[in-house]
Amino acid sequence: MPGIYFRYFEKDNLGAGAIWEEDWKADDNYIVKYILIRRKDGKPWTASTITLGVDNDYWTKEKAPVAIFGTDILNAMPINRNLDKERVFKWSLKNEEGETISVQLVLVLEKR
């Protein structure tokens, strides 16, 4: 059934300079509407970077500042990229905030 779905991921205690790598195999055909990335302590992003994409199609090419993706729907950058069933969405986030942080990443998905 068409509609909006959310896929939530989190990483606690990511040390300064550490990298959070994870992936998710799509369970249906979706459009990735937004990618929300926030620090659990509510502080703004200052220097951390991320690389992300599907399989070997990296949407960020090399890397991008985490801050450009937005932390909520009011400041989120529209993505609107297809994510087909069985394809793997993956990311690598480098903590360059200078302190240990905990991170939430949410994929806002529309079923096609």
Spans of all domains in the chain: 3-111
Q: Class of 3-111 per CATH? A: mainly beta
* pLDDT of the chain, 112 residues: tens digit per residue: 679 999 999 999 999 999 999 999 999 999 999 999 999 999 999 999 999 999 999 999 899 999 999 999 999 999 999 999 999 999 999 999 999 999 999 999 999 9
3-state secondary structure string across the chain = CCEEEEEEEEEEEECCCCEEEEEEECCCCEEEEEEEEEECCCCCCCCCEEEEEECCEECCCCCEEHHHHCCCCCCCCCCCEEECCCCEEEEEEECCCCCCEEEEEEEEEEEC
Q: What is the pTM (predicted TM-score) of this model?
A: 0.93
